[in-house]
Amino acid sequence: MLDAALRRYIDPPLDRMGAAVHRLGLSANQVTLIGLGAGLMAAGAIALGAYAAGLVLILASRLADGLDGAVARRAGITDFGGYLDIACDFLFYGAIPLGFVLADPANNAVPGAALLAAFYFNGTTFLGYAVLAERRGLETAARGLKSLYFTGGLLEGTETILFFVAFCLFPQAFPLIALVFAAGCVITGTSRVLLAWRLFR
């Protein structure tokens, strides 16, 4: 919901940083993998109960996730780069709730499983819509120049990071926050199915 509105504020500094990273000789794919590495370390830190370290690593991971696109715009956007980016994003999105489940299985296992199931549904509707949009020749740059068609929704990347930050700041409230997050994912996925029904039937 917030991604498109934030683009005008975050794109200029990201482009400047991306230019600097490009001058250092790092490729967009390398930046993507660095971001994934930080995200997986965040999940590991969270699993060990180091929530502050997890929060710092989550923010570092998402900074890299923004920078890879800026670097790609300098070096040239590739289909594989977009594929790698979304694959790493989904792995990161699943790893963080798993970290909280491992940190406190007794309290977090069921809400964490519900959230992961909701992620699975929401992610499927996102990728399926992107495939059909490509077949129909649909394009959008509302959320920046992307290799895939990005549909909007109640919960997008920005909201996901805000929920992850809330998890780290209030780990004891993970069960409640995770269930609210899962409900939002289901609403987002359902709205995307309805949109696809209107456009693609």
- Span 103-116, pLDDT tens digits: 999 999 999 999 99
Q: How far is CA 17 from CA 48, 68, 157, in A?
A: 32, 10, 20
What top-level class would CATH report for the domain 3-200? mainly alpha
The reported pLDDT for the residue numbered 110 is 98
Count the residues in the chain. 201
Q: What is the pLDDT of residues 13-57, one digit of tens each?
A: 888 888 888 889 899 999 999 999 999 999 999 999 999 999 999
Is 54 within 8 Å of 42 (Cβ atoms)? Answer: yes
pLDDT band at 3 (very low <50, low <70, confident <90, very high): low
Sorted by where each begins, the domain ranges of the chain are 3-200
* Concatenated DSSP letters of 84-133: HHHHHHHHHHHHHHHHHHHH-HHHHHHHHHHHHHHHHHHHHHHHHHHHHH
Q: What is the pLDDT of residues 121-172, one digit of tens each?
A: 999 999 998 888 888 877 765 545 555 556 766 778 889 999 999 999 999 9
Structure tokens at 10: 């975050």
